[in-house]
Structures are given as C-alpha cells and as structure tokens.
Amino acid sequence: MPVPEPTPLERFLNGILPENPVYRQLLGLCPTLAVTAAMKPAMTMVGATAFVLICANLITSLIRHLLKPHLRILVFTLTIATFVTIADRTLAAFAYPMSKLLGPYVPLIIVNCMIISRCEVCSSKQGPKAALADAVGVSLGFLLALASVATVREILGNGSWFGIQLVPESFPTLILMILPPGAFLALGSLLGLATWLGHRRRARESAAEAGSV
Amino acid sequence: MSRLRDTYLGQAWLILLLAGVFGALLAAVHLKLSPRIEDNIRAEIMREIPGLLLGAEVMEGASITIEGDLVRIEPAAGEPRVLTIVEQPSEASALYQVAEGDPGRLLGWVARGQDHGYADVIELLVGLTADTARITGIYVLNQKETPALGDGIVRSGFRQHFVGIPTDNPLTVGRDAAEAAQSPYAIQALTGATVSSRSVCKIVNDTVALVKVEIAEEPERSDARP
C-alpha cells in the first residue's frame, strides 16, 4: 500500500524543526556559513531564499501533471533561476548596499539544494496548498537556522544584534567569530547542540514508551 | 498522437513555453527596475570618485552630499571641498571629468571599464591625474569573483598597489612580492587568485589606453568648465 503524502499542516510543521533544512538535512550550508556574520545580511538572505522557494514550489506544483520525469530537474532549475534573478534585481533596486554586501551569494541561491529538494520531494507531487505550506515551513526552518548562527556570531564577534550595540564598545569581543572560521565554529557547535537535544528527546520518548509497555 | 510525443518538440514543449514566459517576465522586471538600479550605481560612482582623486585619507570620516553634478565634501579636518563631476562622451563605459572649486581647476579623470573576470564581469572605476600620467586609484564597482579568493580585489590592500603607478607602460602581474618589486609597473597578484588579479590589470590597461588617447586627441576636454 502506498504511503500517503503528508498533509499541508504536516508539511508546514516538518519544515520548521523535524526536517529543518540546515540542522537536519545539512542543506543550504553555503549561505549559512557565508552571510551570517551579522543578522541583517542573514535575514535578507532568508527573505530572498523564501521568496524563491515559495514561488518555485507554487509554480512546480501547478504544472506537476505536465512534468516529464527525465526533464523535471531542468524545469525546476529554470523556475528557480528566474525567481533568483528577480530577487537579485529587486535587491539591487531597493536595497543596493545590502545587494553589494551579499555579492554573489544572492545569485548562488540558484544552486541551493534546499530549494530544488523541496521541488523534488513535495511540490512536484502535491497540490499548491501543500507546496505553499511546505515552502513557508522550510523557509521558517531556514530562518531559525540562519538567525541562530548569526545571533551567536554577531553577539560574540561584534557585541551587537541586528546592528544594536548590546555591550559597551570597550568590551572585548571575539573577532574570530565574524571571520570565516567563526562561521564553522558557530555552526558546528549549534549542530552538535541540536543533535544532542534530538537524541535526548528520542531517548526520553523511548524510555516513556518502554515504561508504558 | 504517440508519434508527436516522441519528437523533441513533444518532449520539450513545456520547457520552451516556460522559457518564453519566464523570459518575458524577466524582461518586464528589467525594464521596470533598471532605471532605479542605474541611479543607485550612479550615486555610488559619485560617492567614490572623490576618494579616487583626493585619496582615501582625505575621505576618512568625511561627509558627502551629492546635488546633481556637484559633490560637497566636508572632511573630518580641514576646509570643505566642492567637486564638479561631468560625464564626457567616451568609448569606455563612462568617462568623468572632475574639477574642483570655482572657477574649476581640473583635478583628474575617472573612467569606468569592464571585462570578464574569473567568475563573471568585473567593473572598475580607474582614477587618473589631470595629465593622465599616473593612476590615482581604482575602485571595484561590480564583481562576482570567488568568495575569499578573487573577491579580495575589492579590498584596499590590493587596490592600494595601483595608486601612483605611471601610465606610460601597461601594468603587469607579479605572482609574489619579489616578482612585483622587479618592475614599477607590476602589481602583486592576490594569493590563489591570479586570474582575478590579471583581469583587473587588463581592465585598467585597456581603460587607461582608451581614455588617454581620447583625452590627448581633444585637448579642449582638459579645460575644466564646471
């Protein structure tokens, strides 16, 4: 018997934590490492990625019955590239300094496996409602991931959060955290923490199940 | 019917259709947004030109106000300065004549040039003295070079190599400090990004060669009349 596809609500909730693109699937690591030195660029990247993901998921879901299996990846890429270009040009028009700061990372959303994997796993198989819920859920999951890494890096490395100074400027900061090695240190530590919390939760659940049996 | 399905057109019609629709969508976005993007780029050029000709140290902590062709600079220390920046016809992407004060004293030239880098097009501003004999500085307007390697071309450490170099010979690229020290025209390449460094030198060489000829051919251009 075929396994039923998840409902839109399940898709939405799964994207946030159980199937978090960064902490669970280890996808989208390039922007997670590259643009998380501060919250502002990280949140701009989340916004651009969410826009592309939502549009790509909706379009591929609407045309899912017309897709030919051997040409589907081409359709996904074409769709994603179109919306990435729109996001890139929109940033250059309305947030030029941020567009310059993010540099090649906005065009690089095209090769973010997180987006193409959602087209493959969800939107090419389910209707627009589930595809939209999935895209919003995964975007929120991506937001959580980038916000957590950027928060750790900006506070430790710069003493600020979202550009707001939290500690006096004379306070010593760990400059390393806003440099590239800081991205690996922050992501590695948070990934370890997320995995440890997951293991602990599962251990508790299985202990509770054993107790009830 | 099944024969039609087996043809290339039968297989690829959806991709062709989507390419047409997405192409039209991108054209519309480009038409709508490109004037605004060009305005942003022009404002950036106007902000960066003073630093290229007056030097980064003058601009440190200075506030800049742009009003049309006029750029008012209020340095952290010293008298305020007013530059007049006028775009001149050129074969280069753009050529700006920069004069200071009233009546205008020609301060120098800034040319915009571009060519392929390692990843994509690199766009530069190249500052030249009033007699076009020396480079006063370069600024990277646009680049998509490899992060952490080629994108080092935007850093002041690399751009500083170009300041004050005479323009009577083309620039060359030295792979390390020792090789670069052998010639006054050699620029030290960025470690791991020789292609990006060579591209920048090529753009500077091509742009300088082009505008030097243009300015020399029309000496009246050097009469600054803001």
pLDDT beyond 90 at B134: yes
The pTM of this model reads 0.85
What is the chain A residue with the closest CA to B39? A93
Indicate yes or no: CB of A63 within 8 angstroms of CB of B36: no
Nearest-CA distance from B30 to chain A in Å? 8
Contact indicator for B136, B117 with CB cutoff of 8 Å: no
Average pLDDT score over residue span A202-210: 91
B27-41 pLDDT tens trace: 999 999 999 999 999
Residue B36, Cα to own-chain centre: how many angstroms? 19
Residue partners of B15: CB distance under 8 A and separation at least 6: A71, A74, A75, A78
Nearest-CA distance from A5 to chain B in Å? 26
The owner of tokens 């998921």 is A57
Q: Answer with the residue of higher pLDDT: A171 or B13.
A: B13
pLDDT beyond 90 at B1: no
Indicate yes or no: CB of B37 within 8 angstroms of CB of A66: no
Considering only residues 94 to 133 of chain B, which have any Cβ-Cβ distance to chain A shorter than 8 Å? Answer: 119-120
The DSSP-derived string for B4-66 is HHHSHHHHHHHHHHHHHHHHHHHHHHHHHHHHHHHHHHHHHHHHHHHHHHH-HHHHTT-EEEE
B90-132 pLDDT tens trace: 888 899 999 998 778 999 999 999 999 998 899 999 999 999 9
* Terminal C-alpha separation, chain B: 72
B51-100 pLDDT tens trace: 999 988 888 888 899 988 899 999 888 888 999 999 988 888 899 999 99
Q: Is B76 on the interface with A (CB under 8 A)?
A: no
How much is the mean pLDDT over chain A?
94
Q: What is the pLDDT of residue B220?
A: 67
Task: Indicate the SS3 state at residue A158.
Answer: helix
Report the alpha-carbon angle B37-B40-B44, nearest 5.
Answer: 140
HEC string of B74-113 equals ECCCCCCEEEEEEEECCCCCEEEEEEECCCCEEEEEEEEE
C-alpha to C-alpha distance for A138 and B163, rounded to whole angstroms: 48
Contact indicator for A60, A128 with CB cutoff of 8 Å: no
Q: Answer with the residue of higher pLDDT: B175 or B106.
A: B106
Nearest-CA distance from B10 to chain A in Å? 11
Q: Is B213 on the interface with A (CB under 8 A)?
A: no
Indicate yes or no: CB of A103 within 8 angstroms of CB of B18: no
Closest Cα partner for B187 from B168, B164, B208?
B164
* φ/ψ bin of B224: left (φ > 0), alpha (ψ from -120 to 50), beta (otherwise): beta
Buried b or exposed e, range A136-148, using 16+ CB within 10 angstroms: bbbbbbbbbbbbb
Residue partners of B11: CB distance under 8 A and separation at least 6: A68, A71, B5
Q: Answer with the residue of higher pLDDT: B180 or A53.
A: A53
Indicate yes or no: CB of B26 within 8 angstroms of CB of A71: no
Residues paired with residue B137 on neighbouring β-strands, in sequence order: B127
List the single residue in A78, A86, A92 with the smallest CB-CB distance to B40.
A92
Report the alpha-carbon angle B71-B75-B78, nearest 5.
Answer: 120
Helix boundaries (H) for A63-160: 72-94, 96-102, 113-118, 128-158
Q: Report how many Cβ contacts below 8 Å link chain A to chain B.
A: 61
The DSSP-derived string for A37-85 is SSHHHHHHHHHHHHHHHHHHHHHHHHTGGG--GGGHHHHHHHHHHHHHH
Task: Indicate the SS3 state at residue B135.
Answer: strand
CA torsion sign for B96, B101, B106, B107 is negative
List the single residue in B26, B44, B144 with the smallest CB-CB distance to A107.
B144
Phi and psi at residue B193, to the nearest 5°: -140, 50
Nearest-CA distance from A17 to chain B in Å? 30
List the single residue in B29, B145, B148 with the smallest CB-CB distance to A86.
B29
Residues paired with residue B126 on neighbouring β-strands, in sequence order: B111, B138
Q: What is the pLDDT of residue A21?
A: 96
Amino acid at A33: L
Q: Which of A39-48, B156-165, B191-200 has the highest mean pLDDT?
A: A39-48
A17-32 pLDDT tens trace: 999 999 999 999 999 9
Q: Which helix (H) or strand (E) holds B186?
A: strand B186-188
C-alpha to C-alpha distance for A195 and A209, rounded to whole angstroms: 21
pLDDT-based confidence at B225, cuts 50/70/90? very low
